[in-house]
Amino acid sequence: MRHYLLARALTVIISLFGVASLSYGATVDVSVRDFAFSPSTVTINVGDTVRWTDATGTHTTTSGSGCTANGLWDSGTALLSPGGTYSRTFNSAGTYPYFCSFHCALGMTGSVVVSGGTTTTAPTTTTTTTTSPTSSTSVPVTAPKVSSATPVNNATGVPINSVITATFSTAMDPWPLSASTFVVSSNVGALSGSVGYNTNTNTATFYPSAALSHNTVYMVTISTGAKSSAGAALSSSYMWSFTTATTSVDSDGDGVADGVDDYPNDNTRATPQDITGTGKIFVDVSAAKGAYLTNVYALSDTDASLGQTGKPDKYQFKDGFVSFKAHGVAKGGTVAVALSFPSGIPSGSKIYAAGPSGFIEYGNAVISGRTAYGDMVTVTLTDGGAGDNDGAADGGVTASIGVAIPVQETSKHGCFIATAAYGSYLDPHVQALQEFRDKWMLTNAAGRALVDLYYSVSPPIADFISSHETLRAMTRMALMPVVWAIEYPVGLGFLVLAAAVGMGRRSKSRRT
């Protein structure tokens, strides 16, 4: 009997150990390195755990196939920097494909093959996340957002000299914006480059240290390390991708490939893509007899070939510069060059030439109508003169020309709440309010005091309004009587007069 009881006890103990081993299975490691999961396929048993560890770059592990998530799991921010880990326990047999949401188009995929039956006492928590050492802080309600980006998502034919930009919904802290939080990568790894931030436009720009590669998919990630000036981080990473142009012949030798140039067989005209991929710049020397173009290309206003001396403050070069060489010019003579830029030439803009010695404003520029590419401006360049970057009277002018567009000063002159309500400081209603402020409020002490009070309290209110469409609509309705009174003062006068007459008649009728 005692032997029987001992045998039963041993059976129970062994069974308990067996259940425990089923409940808490093995952990299989997958390394996330160099745009690949290694190993790309793992075979495990029900109850086992897969742990992904980021060795290089910014990645995710996202369940699904064909680069389409199926919702089973996503690592979120866990693998956005080296050292981060993400774990998932698999409790059902089957094959589970997954991919990196940043680099799926580059072939970064994997799968987990789970064999065996359903575990009876598997852990109830099936996913665990361990953030990297640089995990982000809690995100307030007014977390910043990326409102626009260039090149736009899924853009193709992007020129290899492009810069990459992200414009935010609110002012950002420039210090965290760097090549570690603004990541541009391809199948060969992350690009080296620098990041600049424009406080007037809330725009961060990634400047690659070398030209992009032809016919290449690039993935861009703004991570949650980017923070607003108030310290709020992005609620989640913002990602997009684009593909650069393929190489092609340049039949007319002007420097612009036939696939991009709208005048592939005319070396007096060229249409290079601007640096952001939003449109083409039009360059035309056909009015000058015997003149023709070579070396036409777009470049950023911060390009290393351009000195930064004399660069205008509170202006932006939205389309960058276009560089070219005009041949067939009489030595020491002049050549007229007509140009159009996709962002146009708004009121208050200036035309600049730039070169190794810095920026020079062109006072002789003439805005002369429009082309299919936008407003047209004509500049007259002198061989060997100011703006000729080769400095020699040699029968050719080498120049880089750009449009400096004034930007809105958000620190002192912005109508924050109206801009949040109408969506842009360029909206006519916002412009009307600003004009009223400048003409009637800032010209007297009481008005200036009210304006100063407004600027001290309105920015956080405006940020909150801008993130809620219902509040934006309600604010527009509340501002409507004020805007209407400013834009149509005569109509307001008639209304006041009519109201006064009506009240007078009503008062008279009561007395009788």
Residues 98 and 160 in one domain: no
Domain assignment of residue 261, yes or no: no
Q: For residue 452, what pLDDT is reported?
A: 65
- The phi and psi torsions of 310 (rounded to 5 degrees) equal 80, 5
Which CATH number covers residue 67? 2.60.40.420
pLDDT of residue 65: 86
Number of domains within the chain: 4
pLDDT score at 504:
60
455 with 401, same domain? Answer: no
Q: Say whether both 389 and 435 belong to one domain.
A: no
Residues 208, 320: one domain?
no
94, part of any domain: yes
In angstroms, the CA 418 to CA 472 distance is 9
Asked if residue 358 belongs to a domain, the reply is yes
DSSP label of 280:
B
- CA distance linking residue 63 with residue 237, whole number of Å: 18
| Whether the Cβ atoms of residue 298 and residue 274 lie closer than 8 Å to each other | yes
pTM metric for this prediction: 0.50
Token look-up 């620098």 returns 194
In this predicted structure, what is the pLDDT of residue 44?
93
Q: Is residue 511 part of a domain?
A: no
Do residues 444 and 437 make contact, with C-beta atoms less than 8 angstroms apart?
Answer: no
Record the tokens describing residue 102, joined without a space: 């940043």
pLDDT, position 467 = 63
Q: Mean per-residue pLDDT for 261-275?
A: 93
In terms of Cα–Cα distance, which of 384, 337, 388 is closest to 365? 337
pLDDT reading at 375 higher than 90: no
In a domain, 114, yes or no: yes
Per-residue confidence (pLDDT) for residue 238, from 0 to 100: 92
Q: In this structure, what is the dihedral angle of CA atoms 470, 476, 478, 484, given to the nearest 10 degrees?
A: -160
228/118 same-domain check:
no
In a shared domain, residues 304 and 177: no
Which residue from 444, 443, 418 is spatially nearest to 431, judged by alpha carbons? 418
pLDDT digits (tens, 9 = 90+) for 338-355: 999 988 888 788 999 999
168 and 240 co-located in one domain: yes
**Considering 205, 227, 244, which residue would you say is the last residue of a domain?**
244
Our CA angle for 34, 179, 357, nearest 5°, is 130
**Of 381, 406, 431, at which residue does a domain stop?**
406
Extract the tokens encoding 413.
Answer: 């002159």
Report if residue 249 sits inside a domain: no
Cis ω for the linkage preceding 82 (within 30 of 0): no
Residue-range definition of the domain harbouring residue 452: 416-496
Tens of pLDDT along 81-114? 778 888 999 888 899 999 887 777 777 899 999 9
Lowest-pLDDT range of 47-51, 157-161, 466-470, 496-500: 496-500
**Same domain assignment for residues 284 and 372:** yes
In what helix (H) or strand (E) does residue 464 lie, and over which residues does it extend? helix 445-466
Does residue 115 lie in a domain region?
yes
Q: What is the pLDDT of residue 413?
A: 43
Specify whether 40 is located in the same domain as 124. Answer: yes
Is residue 70 located within the same domain as residue 94?
yes
Same domain membership, residue 384 and residue 486? no
Tokens of 79: 């693998």
Give the residue-averaged pLDDT of 313-323.
88
- The tokens for 119 are 């575990």
Please state the length of the chain: 512
- Which residues are CB-neighbours of 361 under 8 A, at least 6 positions away? 312, 350, 351, 352, 404
Confidence of residue 141 (pLDDT cuts 50, 70, 90): very low
Q: Which residues lie below 8 Å from residue 56, measured CB to CB, with a gap of 6+?
A: 32, 33, 34, 82, 189
Residues 391, 282, single domain; the answer is yes
- In the listed set 357, 385, 406, which residue is the last one of a domain according to the structure? 406
**Tokens in use for 403?**
């449009």
| 184 bridge partner residues | 220
pLDDT on residue 510:
56
pLDDT of residue 357: 92
32 pLDDT higher than 80 = yes
Token pair belonging to 38: 């290694």
| 171 pLDDT above the threshold of 50 | yes
Among the ranges given (123-132, 163-172, 278-287), the one the predictor scored with the smallest mean pLDDT: 123-132
Cis peptide before 151 (omega within 30 of 0): yes
Pairing of strands 127-130, 189-190: unpaired
The answer to whether position 98 is within a domain reads: yes
3-state secondary structure of 215: coil
CATH for 229:
2.60.40.1220
pLDDT of residue 20: 36
Tell me the mean pLDDT in the region 271-276: 86
